[in-house]
Chains A and B, each alone.
Chain A
């Protein structure tokens, strides 16, 4: 099934399991969301479980906080990545800190779903990758599935968490299909995993870049280079163990992401792996990222976004040391 369908199925299951789970957002009810991820859920669960809210992101997050105080488990949809910023203050100053401010007397089981990333040819504010802002904020958990299977399970695990979770959905991956095992998640929410084994270079990616890394690894294989790919899955907390184990084997690491590279998730991975794998590294950790510019007009997105060639160029540089 597609990731969009897997998310829909995961949300449906979470709502059926717990009547405190609410969906809130713009156009998520009758329309089923602009990406149809919530299609059919308002018809099934009613308008008190699936709320078409007024058009105000801070209002959505702020009222979700109040509902969480009341014992609900709101799942908010932010329609597009670039529209999260009107809600940024409520997320970072309130949602992220309220458990701390209450000294644990209150928890904040709020999930914020954010369709993110490029490759869809959309207008400004519709293709961004703002995950680093939230990974930088203590009190938040930040995850991003790279496959329909992970999407199905990770959304349910995020809803089950008593902490706020920023759930970044790679919108370029909404429609490709993949196998979903509805019996078993396989691994816990906050764990990374090797999704392709290899010996010479490690590629680390998350969300939309996982498929790109796998594509690059396929091409490299035809050229005789063996690449291992780690899907980070969870950005905060970040499970470094599989990355450390991989780099200890390959000695080379390239991090791939759509977000701008400066002060980014890739920067953090580079710093930590350099610290933990210094004597295993044969080359500096390299980042392949979006440029440090605003996301350009859609006709230039192929210039801006990393592609397999840019990933392989970095692989070649790493191998050249």
Chain B
């Protein structure tokens, strides 16, 4: 329930850069970031934690059927999210709300999904290649791998131009590593040497079951059995997440094949709003991870870099504004039209579905005051 000697950190919990043999190849990627980019990392973490709290509150007030919190995992998500290039494709699990925002998805779209208005419904072509959430655990790993195979067949990767060569990053959790589909994805990825990064957020809990039930082996070590290079990072270190993901995506896009990153992090809240972590948490666990909070650590770093109170006050206010805006827009959402039941079941006409839609319309119209 903590870091291991192998865990790569670029930023110590106190917020200081770690200079070592292991970090040497990554530190230049951090040095290349502007102050503005570093502050943007922090802005996204802070603003989206506030959003996350608001969404949980909306669920508690009956406005959402469910919320899937990501509090505590902002470092892993923001770092890797900014590491993906514009041409890359991102296959999330279902908790990567901040990456959705980074790629330009309107957050209300996620709210709609969890309010019961859609099953997702966004078009990845319009969200900078941020694909739909997948609720069956691990299924998306295979979709990501197939997509990466398509990049190879298209010849849009491994041309030697890192500014245009494409790659895929797929997110999954520690529970998903027990799913056959994740293993099969690793097999296919290794076999076809896909341009792909497997990004495992080990948040230590699959709902109420600890990661020790999923694996007796540190999960990043499993990749070696598939012939895939891997690394374990401190997922609460946004800089490590950024630099290691960027380096591995570049390796993948350059034709070196798939990579595997295990980001150690912690789900500080519930799995979803429907569970109660007080029933299964180990004593002292939350305290350990609170002390390793990705936001506190990065705030310490930024302050040492010269960020002042005004900056932190500004982003705190931005979080408040976003939360208020999301609340206002959530309350204004309307139920979808009834005919959405029948839309897009098939892309081409299907007589059974068409007949049932006509029947429902006639049935509704048969009531007094009904409309056909």
CA distance A184 to B98 in the complex (A): 54
Beta-carbon contact of A93 and B347 below 8 Å: no
Per the 8 Å Cβ criterion, residues 212-239 of A in contact with B are 236-239
* Given A102-B121, A102-B132, A62 and B346 contact (CB-CB distance below 8 Å): no
CA distance A63 to B258 in the complex (A): 15
Chain A residues lying within 8 Å of B132, measured Cβ to Cβ, are 98, 101-102
- Report A65-85 CB contacts with B as 1/0, cut-off 8 Å: 111111110000000000000
A56 within 8 A of B: yes
Interchain CB contact (< 8 A) of A56 among B118, B184, B344: B184
- Report A132-144 CB contacts with B as 1/0, cut-off 8 Å: 0000001101000
Which of A103-111, A115-123, A147-155, A254-262 makes up part of the contact surface? Answer: A103-111
Beta-carbon contact of B343 and A104 below 8 Å: yes
B220 within 8 A of A: no
Chain B residue at smallest Cβ distance from A105: B123
Per the 8 Å Cβ criterion, residues 114-132 of B in contact with A are 118-126, 131-132
Beta-carbon contact of A102 and B120 below 8 Å: yes
Beta-carbon contact of B142 and A105 below 8 Å: no
Chain A residues lying within 8 Å of B145, measured Cβ to Cβ, are 62-63, 66
- Report B126-161 CB contacts with A as 1/0, cut-off 8 Å: 100001101010010111111111110110000000
A54 within 8 A of B: yes
Chain A residues lying within 8 Å of B322, measured Cβ to Cβ, are none
* Given A71-B150, A72-B153, A59 and B344 contact (CB-CB distance below 8 Å): no
Distance to closest chain B CB from A31 (angstroms):
18
B111 within 8 A of A: no
Chain A residues lying within 8 Å of B131, measured Cβ to Cβ, are 69
Beta-carbon contact of B147 and A105 below 8 Å: no
CA distance A238 to B136 in the complex (A): 30
Which of B44-52, B78-86, B185-193, B273-281 makes up part of the contact surface? Answer: B185-193
Interface centre among B121, B153, B343 (most CB of A within 10 A): B153
CA distance A61 to B146 in the complex (A): 9
Beta-carbon contact of B344 and A99 below 8 Å: yes
Beta-carbon contact of B121 and A62 below 8 Å: no
Beta-carbon contact of B347 and A67 below 8 Å: no
A12 within 8 A of B: no
Beta-carbon contact of B346 and A139 below 8 Å: yes
B181 within 8 A of A: yes
Interchain CB contact (< 8 A) of B146 among A62, A103, A138, A237: A62
A172 within 8 A of B: no
A90 within 8 A of B: yes
Chain A residues lying within 8 Å of B147, measured Cβ to Cβ, are 66-67, 69-70
* Given A64-B146, A67-B150, A139-B346, A101 and B181 contact (CB-CB distance below 8 Å): no
Interchain CB contact (< 8 A) of B143 among A65, A161, A163: A65
Chain B residues lying within 8 Å of A93, measured Cβ to Cβ, are 136, 139
Chain A residues lying within 8 Å of B352, measured Cβ to Cβ, are 236-238
* Given A56-B187, A66-B143, A69-B143, A100 and B345 contact (CB-CB distance below 8 Å): yes
Beta-carbon contact of A69 and B146 below 8 Å: yes
B282 within 8 A of A: no
Interface centre among B118, B151, B350 (most CB of A within 10 A): B350
Interchain CB contact (< 8 A) of A105 among B122, B148, B153, B353: B122
Beta-carbon contact of B346 and A66 below 8 Å: no
Size band of the interface chain B makes with A: 35 or more
* Given A58-B142, A104-B344, A63 and B191 contact (CB-CB distance below 8 Å): no
Interchain CB contact (< 8 A) of A62 among B123, B153, B181, B351: B181
Interface centre among A65, A101, A106, A237 (most CB of B within 10 A): A101
A89 within 8 A of B: yes
Per the 8 Å Cβ criterion, residues 313-372 of B in contact with A are 343-348, 350-353
B180 within 8 A of A: yes
CA distance A237 to B28 in the complex (A): 59
CA distance A159 to B298 in the complex (A): 52
A53 within 8 A of B: yes
CA distance A108 to B123 in the complex (A): 14
A267 within 8 A of B: no
Distance to closest chain A CB from B145 (angstroms):
5
Beta-carbon contact of A99 and B347 below 8 Å: yes
Chain B residue at smallest Cβ distance from A190: B351
A48 within 8 A of B: yes
Per the 8 Å Cβ criterion, residues 260-305 of A in contact with B are none
Beta-carbon contact of A67 and B149 below 8 Å: yes
Chain A residue at smallest Cβ distance from B144: A66
Distance to closest chain B CB from A239 (angstroms):
8
Distance to closest chain A CB from B84 (angstroms):
17
Beta-carbon contact of A58 and B184 below 8 Å: yes
Q: List 8 A-B contacts (CB under 8 A).
A: A62-B139, A62-B184, A63-B185, A72-B153, A89-B139, A99-B344, A100-B344, A106-B123
List the interface of chain B (C-beta within 8 A of A).
Answer: 118-126, 131-132, 134, 136, 139, 141-151, 153-154, 180-181, 184-185, 187-188, 191, 343-348, 350-353
Given contact pairs A62-B141, A69-B131, A94-B136, enumerate 5 new A-B contacts (beta carbons under 8 Å).
Answer: A54-B187, A54-B191, A56-B187, A67-B150, A238-B352
